Amino acid sequence: MAVIDEEVVATTNELDQQEVAVLRKRLEETNAATSETTSHNLSPPPDWEPVPTVSIDEGRWKYVLISATEPYSTDGSGECYTSFYVTSKKYAEYHRNAAEPYVNLLQSRGYRDIHVSGGGRIHLDSDERTIHIFGFSYGFGLGDHAAAKRVIERDERYKGFKVTWSNDGY
């Protein structure tokens, strides 16, 4: 949201909302198709790489929280777990611009039951070792910032960072 002469102006538009609906519809169709046809392999092929749960760009950018179920059992239990993924994208004009590349990556690696559950903004300052999660997404709704914080805190790259969140701001 931008403030122009004390008037709040949304940073989304009708085209963005239509594109979010297209992405949601595509995920709905893909999720339905993969739940019917996916065979659950017990272990991944040797060349398979899991998708990192965190991909955030330095600075203050739009982010989305995505959930997805892994295509293979990675711990030998035979279980395919569902995880959350936090992604922000430098210069993403809309939240869908942050979501689409990660959704495509997850799909290309065989993940299923993919959902963009919400978003907001993330400010990553590596020099100060801080990450602040806040705001919301017009297209995907308010992200579960507490869940996003937990995902980031589990990532070894951000050990020692002060991670905070708030539902305030845009």
Write 17-21 long-range contacts (CB < 8 A, 24+): 17/138, 17/139, 19/94, 19/96, 20/94, 20/95, 20/96, 20/139, 20/140
Over 60: is that where the pLDDT of 8 sits? no
Kindly tell me if the per-residue pLDDT of 141 is higher than 90. yes
pLDDT at 5: 40
Cα–Cα dist 138/1, whole Å: 9
In the structure encoding, which two tokens stand for residue 83, read together? 């995880």
Separation CA 168–CA 112 (nearest Å) = 32
Q: Tell whether 90 is in a known binding site.
A: no
Q: Annotated catalytic residue: which of 40, 95, 123, 145?
A: 95
CB-CB contact of 119 with 150 (8 Å): no
Q: What is the mean pLDDT of residues 123-150?
A: 96
95 is catalytic: yes
Query: How high is the mean pLDDT of the chain?
Result: 87
Write down all domains in the chain, each with its CATH number in brackets.
7-32+53-165 (3.50.20.20)
**Dihedral sign for Cα atoms in the order 93, 169, 15, 28:** positive
Confidence of residue 9 (pLDDT cuts 50, 70, 90): very low
Q: Tell me: the pLDDT tens digits for 26-78?
A: 888 888 877 655 555 567 888 889 999 999 999 999 999 999 999 988 787 88
